[in-house]
Structure 1
């Protein structure tokens, strides 16, 4: 980090503030919106779709943002997105004035859709700028900023629950939405402009479909969907599941903090492991096993003859934060690396495609999660509904394990490091020692469709693995 430029430090600082404030606004409503919706006559299925429509909108618009990021401009998309998220958060706080059930649900849908359009632009632009600014530390940088998001997840439900007890439904949204507006103003003034850097880069010849056709990215996309399903599932059903324990709104807020806090705590570790130590796919497999364990306990699953207790739920939520954090960080790192390794140019257009894919698939799962959770909660109850999430993550672990066993290892397919031509020709063994890679050395030509291409000329590039 000591080698970071002034522009990189500014980018990190404003992203950290923006991620924190955005997470606060996203998470603050989970402890008390279900209660408010039920007081207006809404069912769990209906308010589950209110949570879900946000992510459905992100799923639809993220690929569009990803494809046109170069034309719109990452800074404009980032600032416009975060400002839209803030203003709609404030608007959501006045829904308690609406007493008609249909009008309450309809306005909830409308506001969440607009908020989702802003949030999608903010996320897609931020992921792309990360990949552009920190090409050698994508995983670690992404994970470090996700730590700030995790801290926001801690503050959001806790502060939201406290403000709800203090001043009712409107106060949390107005206060924390105003905080995000301040963050949006800060990013507008401080965030460097990238228009000159990206102006000369042509529109990407690739597409979201061609990206998903890569097998490694396809199973990574499924893992992202399964992971976000688990998050959305708890967002919509954790509060009614914990209702028999008779916790206060502030205590409920603390329960929603647990998985976010654990996620933020371990995210830098997963990023460092993916960048420097192990194949990201191993991290995904580990995360899937931990998430399965969490949902078996939090139900508890029907085949476990144990009652629902507060300590058991706490342990399960901590495990969940650990597991889905490993999955999300590792899949982002893996997808970016695999895209470049399969011939996509290492430029802002590819960053936009990968970011749009990650955001879109995450949103699809986050739509399915609360929507299916509300319906399953109504039909079969919480314990049996958790089996659905367990089965999804069993498929994640199995598919990644089978893929790793069946795929033939190729030079550069794992962790690779680019080296100077003179070092590669004179002493490949020394190059491996200097970079921490021991597999050997290899060269790739730009004309090779399977190469890791970072330049536009026809010269060869040299790597150790």
Structure 2
């Protein structure tokens, strides 16, 4: 396949795009295979390192005198700096170089993951809290660099199958989220606080020589368009709101789900990690399916976005469950709702990247790595906005009103974003139908005039 950065299905490109799609070989080229291996290794190792905090870090932080709200801020600051750095890296990707940004991001991320493992030696109180913030901030910046470069390289290498490839690679992200919590919980129970971070940080670092050897180096000229022009496109703005909503739902669970499960069901830390399995595993399995459907049926992507949000809203009402429902909280129900939530996440998250990319091409953005960098950076930035708000809101609400009501309030956000997205698509469809009718009338009148003149 020619890595030319042509638009995905649903974008512009005319005959050239159709010809490229026809000429796409069914078998992967060597370059495409190497890109997939690099992205998969990064997704797997980084998500494992990211997710190990959930089962035991809140408990360890409480021992150090950290409040639930501050724990939520420690989780949330990761997303804040991921947001800021995504915008910068997306804008300057073509200047820095996609491969260099990818490798450098992995290197720093692995190093700070190991550094996180020695924070238990830091004195309690403000010093411990400050060091947690600093390490998380550096980790966020490095991960942002790696993921922005990775998404851009993937979209460049697979211009006609963006959703399918991204959805398939979410299997490795989901696998990392699946393996991280139980593995981290097991290593924590067996060997103490340090070993989970040192082990997983070392795995991240071991991926660097592999990626230096096999990852292709794409080059491109800087583009003329900006983030501001992209995000001010109305459709992109609504999709961005959907991304924020979903990432906040994920981030909401990070600091408080383990605390709720420990308090409600009295499970050991190792088993708490298995609770996270329901969400991560169902998301990993469903993502390739929705990616394939998004590429095969691009006109259906919008409804995946809408119904994914509405299902998620229902899940969060039942997660506690909300006290107004008068349903007793049970472990099997909690795990079932997390499984359904993982499927709804795959339904709504995976189509967002190709939808934004198609919209960018339709609005005059040039093809190539520059636009791919902007879209990757915007996606990462919007995801980070929600991932910043979610843990902070979750920690605060959990402390004030408890998990049941906090989850219900989070579900309202998903409900609003789903309804807003659905209303926008209905208005867009209605506007297109109205605009097509006058054109048909004009054409008919012109044809009648021509026929009458011929008869005369």
> Would the TM-score normalized by the shorter structure come out above 0.5?
yes
Which stretches in structure 2 are left out of the alignment for 5+ residues? 1-24, 433-456
What is the aligned counterpart of 2:321 among 300, 322, 333?
Answer: 300
Deviations 1:342-385 (A, max 9, x none): 11111111100000000001011000000111111111111111
List aligned pairs for 1:22-421, cutoff 5 A: 22-195=46-219, 198=220, 201=221, 203-243=222-262, 244-277=264-297, 278-408=299-429
- Is contact 1:294–1:319 with CA below 8 Å preserved after alignment? yes
- Is contact 1:24–1:152 with CA below 8 Å preserved after alignment? yes
Runs (4 or more) in structure 1 with deviation over 3 Å come to: 408-411
Per the alignment, do residues 134 and 410 of structure 1 end up closer, same or farther by CA in structure 2, a change over 3 Å counting? farther
Measure the CA separation in 2 of the matches of 1:317 and 1:145: 21
Tell me, what secondary structure is at the counterpart of 2:367? coil
Q: Post-superposition shift, 1:219?
A: 0.5
Measure the CA separation in 2 of the matches of 1:190 and 1:214: 37
1:15 aligns with 2:39: yes
Per the alignment, do residues 400 and 260 of structure 1 end up closer, same or farther by CA in structure 2, a change over 3 Å counting? same
Measure the CA separation in 2 of the matches of 1:343 and 1:72: 24
Measure the CA separation in 2 of the matches of 1:172 and 1:2: 41
Q: Post-superposition shift, 1:3?
A: 2.6
- Is contact 2:87–2:378 with CA below 8 Å preserved after alignment? yes
> Over the residues paired in the alignment, what is the CA RMSD in angstroms?
1.3
Greater helix content: 2
Tell me, what secondary structure is at the counterpart of 1:118? helix
Q: Post-superposition shift, 1:409?
A: 7.2
Instruction: State the TM-score, normalized to the length of structure 1.
Output: 0.85
Measure the CA separation in 2 of the matches of 1:323 and 1:279: 15
1:447 aligns with: none
Q: Post-superposition shift, 1:241?
A: 1.1
Measure the CA separation in 2 of the matches of 1:401 and 1:120: 30
Q: Post-superposition shift, 1:388?
A: 2.0
Deviations 1:419-457 (A, max 9, x none): xxxxxxxxxxxxxxxxxxxxxxxxxxxxxxxxxxxxxxx
1:426 aligns with: none
* Rg larger in structure: 2
Deviations 1:33-53 (A, max 9, x none): 000000111011011100000
- Is contact 1:270–1:329 with CA below 8 Å preserved after alignment? yes
Instruction: State the TM-score, normalized to the length of structure 2.
Output: 0.87
Tell me, what secondary structure is at the counterpart of 1:279? helix
Measure the CA separation in 2 of the matches of 1:172 and 1:264: 23
Per the alignment, do residues 121 and 410 of structure 1 end up closer, same or farther by CA in structure 2, a change over 3 Å counting? farther
2:450 aligns with: none
Measure the CA separation in 2 of the matches of 1:409 and 1:205: 32
- Is contact 2:104–2:146 with CA below 8 Å preserved after alignment? yes
Residue-pair matches, total: 406
Tell me, what secondary structure is at the counterpart of 1:247? coil
